């Protein structure tokens, strides 16, 4: 007993107390604002906590049972997953195409590349307002489409459920395409020109060169781009809040918006926590499995 205590005392200080202090402060902050909130949500999801009630009671899994019959939740989750999936595919396909179109080094192309990223620089609130103006009934999009003869009379882009879903998707895809284009441009520039020269010598056509060289060589960029697109879409809040506030008839209410409504409008803290846990699990499972899948694809290619 005594010998062990002594041996600890005489052990040379390998430590770095000052650096450890800063590092542990960082860890502590992270625990306080990510780990503890998640644990709190997990615990509150088992209660009926509500600021209007005097006290919160433990209700077991009843919040989770309610979730199974909550059609608003089902609809919001369906919308969130549809939006995340569709926008990720569209934005990445558009990003690859746009990147290939802009992959030249002359000044005009460098300028185009600069402005292509601009949607990413604006806040979701500004993006939401600009597009609300563009998509308004008397807005510029209807104006252009009517004068081109594509549609006979103005369409209420944000006024009917199906079109509102489409509109939110278009706006989100617009923002994300700024990002996917830049990532794929960088990936394109890392492909050795010799590969294309060799393929041309072998008589490979345009499509074959894309299929056999460009697309596989883009894989590391695509992995990052797709993963970040999905994460961004699963947490999307600001653009929807400004563009539609989740309407009409809750058709564009993402699960993030639904959680905010439950927590801050309906004051149902317990139930909001249970829905939070669901969104947390869904987000982490999707992000991890898609990353793993794309990594494996990189190896296969």
Which residues within the stretch 83-102 sit at the binding site for another protein (CB under 8 A)? 98, 101-102
Considering the rule CB under 8 A, would residue 271 count as an interface residue with another protein? no
Rounded CA-CA distance 143/212 in Å is 43
289 touches another protein by CB under 8 A: no
Radius of gyration of the chain (CA): 25
The residue from 96, 224, 226, 243 that contacts another protein (CB under 8 A) is 224
SS3 content of the chain, % helix, strand, coil (to 5): 75, 0, 25
- In the list 79, 157, 179, 271, the residue contacting another protein (rule: CB under 8 A) is 179
Three-state SS at 58: strand
Among the residue ranges 64-72, 150-158, 206-214, 279-287, the one whose residues contact another protein (CB under 8 A): 279-287
* Residue 77 touches another protein, criterion: CB under 8 A: no
Contacts of 284 (CB under 8 A, 6+ apart): none
Which lies closer to another protein via its Cβ, residue 251 or residue 273? 273
Rounded to a whole number of angstroms, the minimum distance from the CB of residue 157 to another protein is 14
Query: Cβ distance 79 to 251 under 8 Å?
Result: yes
If binding is defined by CB under 8 A, does position 264 make contact with another protein?
yes
CB of 158 to another protein, least distance (A): 13
Residues 182 and 228: their CA atoms lie apart, in Å, by 13
Asked if residue 190 binds another protein (CB under 8 A), the reply is yes
Q: How far apart are CA 227 and CA 207, in angstroms?
A: 26
Q: Are 188 and 100 in contact (CB under 8 A)?
A: yes
Q: Which stretch binds another protein (CB under 8 A): 71-79, 195-203, 205-213, 264-272?
A: 264-272
Q: Write the binding mask 107 to 146 for another protein: x where contact by CB under 8 A, - elsewhere.
A: -xx--x-xxxxxx-xxxxxxx-xxx-xx-----x--x---
Q: Does 57 bind another protein (CB under 8 A)?
A: no
Q: Do 254 and 240 touch, CB atoms closer than 8 A?
A: yes
CB of 153 to another protein, least distance (A): 19
Q: Select the span of 62-70, 153-161, 195-203, 227-235 touching another protein (CB under 8 A).
A: 227-235
Q: What CA–CA distance (Å, rounded) separates 135 from 283?
A: 30
Out of 88, 167, 177, 244, name the contact with another protein by CB under 8 A: 177
Nearer to another protein, 45 or 251 (CB): 45
Subset of residues 8 to 37 that bind another protein, contact rule: CB under 8 A: 16, 18-20, 22-23, 25-27, 29-30, 32-37
Dihedral sign, Cα of residue 198, residue 200, residue 203, residue 204: positive
- What dihedral do alpha carbons 90, 91, 93, 98 form, nearest 10°? 130
Q: Confirm or reject binding of residue 279 to another protein (CB under 8 A).
A: yes
Q: Round to whole Å and give the CA distance between 261 and 102.
A: 42
């Amino acid at each position: 007993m005594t010998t062990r205590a002594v041996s600890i005392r005489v052990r040379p200080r390998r430590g770095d107390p000052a650096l450890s202090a800063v590092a542990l402060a960082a860890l502590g902050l992270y625990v306080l604002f990510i780990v503890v909130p998640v644990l709190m949500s997990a615990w509150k999801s088992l209660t009926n906590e509500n600021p209007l009630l005097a006290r919160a009671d433990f209700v077991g899994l009843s919040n989770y049972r309610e979730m199974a019959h909550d059609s608003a939740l089902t609809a919001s989750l369906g919308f969130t997953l549809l939006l995340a999936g569709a926008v990720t595919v569209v934005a990445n396909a558009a990003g690859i195409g746009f990147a290939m179109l802009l992959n030249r080094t002359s000044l005009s192309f460098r300028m185009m590349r600069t402005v292509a990223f601009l949607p990413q620089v604006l806040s979701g609130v500004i993006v939401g307002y600009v597009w609300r103006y563009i998509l308004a009934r008397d807005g510029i999009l209807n104006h252009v489409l009517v004068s081109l003869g594509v549609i006979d009379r103005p369409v209420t882009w944000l006024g009917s459920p199906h079109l509102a879903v489409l509109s939110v998707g278009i706006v989100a895809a617009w923002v994300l395409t700024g990002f996917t284009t830049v990532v794929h441009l960088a990936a394109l520039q890392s492909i050795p020109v010799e590969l294309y020269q060799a393929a041309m010598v072998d008589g490979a056509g345009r499509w074959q060169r894309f299929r056999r060289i460009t697309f596989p060589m883009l894989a590391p960029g695509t992995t990052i781009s797709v993963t970040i697109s999905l994460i961004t879409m699963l947490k999307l809040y600001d653009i929807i809040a400004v563009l539609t506030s989740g309407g009409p008839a809750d058709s564009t209410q993402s699960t993030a918006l639904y959680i905010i409504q439950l927590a801050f409008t309906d004051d149902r803290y317990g139930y909001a926590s249970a829905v939070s846990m669901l969104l947390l699990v869904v987000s982490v499972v999707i992000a991890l499995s898609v990353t793993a899948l794309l990594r494996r694809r990189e190896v296969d290619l």
